[in-house]
Each structure stands twice: as structure tokens, then as C-alpha cells.
Amino acid sequence: MRDVDGRRRDLAAMIAPLQRALVAAEQPVLRAHSLSMWGYVVLDALDGQPVRTQAALAEAIGADKSRIIGVLDDLEAEGLLERPRDPADRRARLVSITAQGRRRRAAVQAEIQRGEDRLLARLAPADREALLRALAVLADESQKLD
């Protein structure tokens, strides 16, 4: 893929403004549902499977382990997740999403994806499919590099 003047742009240079726009579009949705960005990311990561330790959770979402504690406190206070002590290792906490957390996450995600769909509508259907497929691969791949 070449630019107008014939050179390829950096991946990062194309992704950065897109990322900024997506995050900006998410803010009002998150606010409407009383979730912080990190709160949403945590719920997103927990939905699917719970996690053994908070450190593992932090690493999975690319956050600092000392920073997510406040996020977990808030989510727990709102009843969106539970984190009882692991009876097998009382140092660790078994973090898992609650039914209410699942509902909240689903509602937010539906709204966010409605917004994203408006952007994706600009693409040819085949390109759209390829984009999502490629991003899924690259996202997984780049996780491993960290």
C-alpha cells in the first residue's frame, strides 16, 4: 500500500489517530455507564474466563499491577466483579466477573461497536473482514512480544 506520493506510511502513524478517535468516541459511552476505561478493559478481560491472580490480569491487559487495584476496588464496590481469597493460596484473589458485570459490559460493548460500525461502514465488506481478521492476528502476536 503506497501513499499518494508513493511511500508507505508507518503502521503506527496510521494507527495512532485512529486509536485516538476510537478512545474519544468511547468516553461518553463509558461515562454514561459509570465505567472508567480501565474498568471496561478489566471487565472485557474477565468475561470469558476468570483469572488466577491480579498480577496475571494486569499483565494480560497491559496495565501496571499497582494501578489496577483501585480499578478493582471500584468494580467490586459496584458489584461488577468478585475477588474472594483463593482458599488454596490465601495470598491470591480469584477475580471473576459477576452476572451484573457481564450485563454492564455487554451493554457498553454493544454501544461502542455500534459507533465503530459507522466507521467500518466506510470500507468495502471484503476489506472490513480482512481488517478485523488481520488485527486479531496482530493483536495476539504483539501481546507475545511484550
Partner DNA sequence: GCATACGATATGCAGGTGCTTATTATCTGC
Partner DNA sequence: GCAGATAATAAGCACCTGCATATCGTATGC
Which three cell numbers, joined as nine digits, stand for 110? Answer: 454493544
CA–CA separation, 62 and 32 (whole Å) = 25
Residues 6+ apart with CB under 8 A from 112: 25, 26, 29
Q: Please, which residue, 84 or 140, has the CB nearer to its own copies?
A: 140
Closest CA to 82 of 69, 65, 101, 63: 101
The option from its own copies, DNA, none interacting with 110 (CB < 5 to 8 A, set by class) reads none
- In angstroms, the CA 122 to CA 69 distance is 39
The residues with which 51 forms a beta bridge, in sequence order, are 95
Q: Is 137 in the site for its own copies (CB under 8 A)?
A: yes
Nearest approach, Cβ of 89 to DNA (angstroms)?
4
Among 72, 75, 81, 97, binds DNA (CB under 7 A): 72
How many chain residues are in contact with its own copies, going by CB under 8 A?
A: 53
Q: Using the rule CB under 8 A, is 116 a contact of its own copies? A: yes
Instruction: Please select the residue that binds its own copies; options are 12, 77, 88, 99, rule is CB under 8 A.
Output: 12
| DSSP summary character for residue 33 | T
Question: Cell numbers 465503530 label which residue?
Answer: 116
Residue 107 partner contact from DNA, its own copies, none using kind-dependent CB cut-offs of 5 to 8 Å: none
Q: Is 40 in the site for DNA (CB under 7 A)?
A: no
Query: Which residues form the interface with DNA (CB under 7 A)?
Result: 37-38, 53-56, 62-67, 69-70, 72-73, 83, 88-93
